[in-house]
Amino acid sequence: TQLLEQSPQFLSIQEGENLTVYCNSSSVFSSLQWYRQEPGEGPVLLVTVVTGGEVKKLKRLTFQFGDARKDSSLHITAAQPGDTGLYLCAGTGPGGQNFVFGPGTRLSVLP
Amino acid sequence: DTAVSQTPKYLVTQMGNDKSIKCEQNLGHDTMYWYKQDSKKFLKIMFSYNNKELIINETVPNRFSPKSPDKAHLNLHINSLELGDSAVYFCASSQRQGAKDFGPGTRLTVT
């Protein structure tokens, strides 16, 4: 069974600070996705990365897929209160099977 | 223009009752899912279904059964509800095993 770990579990920062959250596994994934979930809502896809070493940017968010496709990071620059939410990584195993979610990082950005 | 919709949003019921949650997607996706999110916010796959194959997470009690009248709908029926069934249930859809679109969730409370 492929498992994903995320760190930190909780993160509380002030508006304007930078932060990085991590998603790690001992398994190789064919692709990895990041979602953000706000209270009372379903997860919303932010990005999909598929190539080892790939870097994608979405405004102030930078996503990186590890060279070995076992880990990923999400960096947020100049965090804003609107970034508050639960950030979930999810990976698809080789052959497109075994899609799993990590436990999430709960981010709180204080004004 | 809702992509994935679920009803009801909230469901409060007593132990032993039978209930159903409905899900519809208008994205033309070929695969639909049901996820359970517990109090710790961990998302766990319950079922995935396309018009060819139903994949059941073996840890899901057989009191839970998915029913799909057509490829745009995947309803979740739960028999003999138990206290531990209280959670938020999310429906999702995707094209093959790609990025998933989630519904807004159904918060089930069993008393």
Question: Tens digits of per-residue pLDDT, B17-47?
Answer: 999 999 999 999 999 999 999 888 889 999 9
Which B positions 10-69 lie with beta carbon below 8 A of chain A? 40-45
- The CATH architecture assigned to A5-110 reads Sandwich (2.60)
A2 — pLDDT class (breaks 50, 70, 90): low
Q: How far apart are CA B82 and CA B16, in angstroms?
A: 7
pLDDT at position B5 is: 96
Phi, psi of A67 (to 5 degrees): -55, -40
Provide the residue ranges of all domains of chain A, joining segments of one domain with +: 5-110
CATH number, residue B100:
2.60.40.10
pLDDT at position B1 is: 65
Q: Residue B87's domain spans which residues?
A: 4-110
Chain A residues with CB-CB distance to B45 below 8 A: 99-100
Name the token pair of B93. Answer: 């859809």
pLDDT digits (tens, 9 = 90+) for A7-62: 999 999 999 999 999 999 999 999 999 999 998 899 999 999 999 999 999 999 99
Check A41 against B105: CB less than 8 A apart. Answer: yes
